[in-house]
Structure 1
């Protein structure tokens, strides 16, 4: 059994052991005014960090011009950060922190009204943990069904030490870029796992009352 497959099985067990109460949701009956919360947890797979993996891209990630930056939303923007008391993945986050094979990189979320496919706006994702830098977008929208689009790039930085005139300076140089892109039909109130050999993402989408 490959290391990647073992990694996937381990994550499934972690998620299943953390009991998230689910409720049925008829996604086909959603209306444009329906509101949703989207929560995500992104983590590094350290068990493969010492293995040679093919870089998945050589180009730096370019944020789309229409991407929404949650840390700088205006009062007239419908998208808002998800409040801590609305987040459900703290239990999974704490479990991953205690395991030597994983390192949580980012845990956050947002709320938004439902977007039709032609109107969709991506949410910018930007986090850094030590030598790992994460850039990308998550896009929740509806075509015929509900979908979540994942487009994330993990930059693994190489820390180098330079001594010059008895001064020690440290700088980071990007050595490897990994890209995860996927579009998936999703159901609400269920955890969805997006897999990459180097990192992974858990996401939960819930229908909520309008915050207005």
Structure 2
């Protein structure tokens, strides 16, 4: 699955996945203006996910700000993440979760403030108790911890959640530091829902017009930066 993402991004533009990225040019010495970091969050799908429930969640727009700088609106046909979102959605092995922008000033690392991210989406795990659909099975579902009136065992509180922070700073080059914790509902069990926690902590040196893939086996983040004129 990771190979598919790398191939897809390589076809879209120059891709950098290393810890610092390959730098081929020096940044200009012009007075720094704010940057727009475009973000796309996605989840890897696996055998415990139900394809019928794996469509992208609604309310997929992230509006993140640093130091009170307003978000930059860009038409969908000019958004470099729009095509990637669609390709991930159609791939089947991925579930795009959210896309949006982080508009941040070009400040040095010691002055950069983390921007908090806290988002959740309905889990796409296969329905629990799918084989217990009859009225006579309701006591069994209740005994196993499921909703006795709901044959598929799903509940509104069953959600995946992503929390953490994104920190942008600009020295000689732009950098984005990502610290995220992903809570995933994997499968229904007799005692409840099997829940796993995954952590992603990486930093990338960013250049304009390149895509950066923050890699994790269970979820991922793609970043692309532009400088405001």
Alpha-carbon RMSD across the aligned residues, in angstroms, is 3.1
Count of residues in correspondence between the two structures: 169
Q: Output aligned runs, 1:28-177, within 5 Å.
A: 29=29, 31=31, 33-47=32-46, 70=63, 77-85=67-75, 87-131=79-123, 132-157=160-185, 175-177=195-197
Whose Rg is larger?
A: 2
Structure 1 segments unaligned to the other structure (5+ residues): 1-6, 51-68, 163-171
TM (norm. structure 1) is 0.68
1:17 aligns with 2:11: yes
Cα distance, 1:159 vs. partner?
7.5
Question: SS in structure 2 opposite 1:98?
Answer: helix
After the TM superposition, which parts of structure 1 deviate over 4 Å for at least 4 consecutive aligned residues?
A: 158-162
Which structure's residues are more often strand, by fraction?
1
- Structure 1 residue 157: deviation in Å? 2.9
TM-score by length of 2: 0.63
8 Å CA contact 1:43–1:103 kept in 2: the answer is: yes
Structure 1, residues 87-112: CA drift from partner, whole Å, max 9, x if none? 32000001111111000111111222
Q: Are the aligned partners of 1:48 and 1:197 in contact in 2 as well (CA < 8 Å)?
A: no
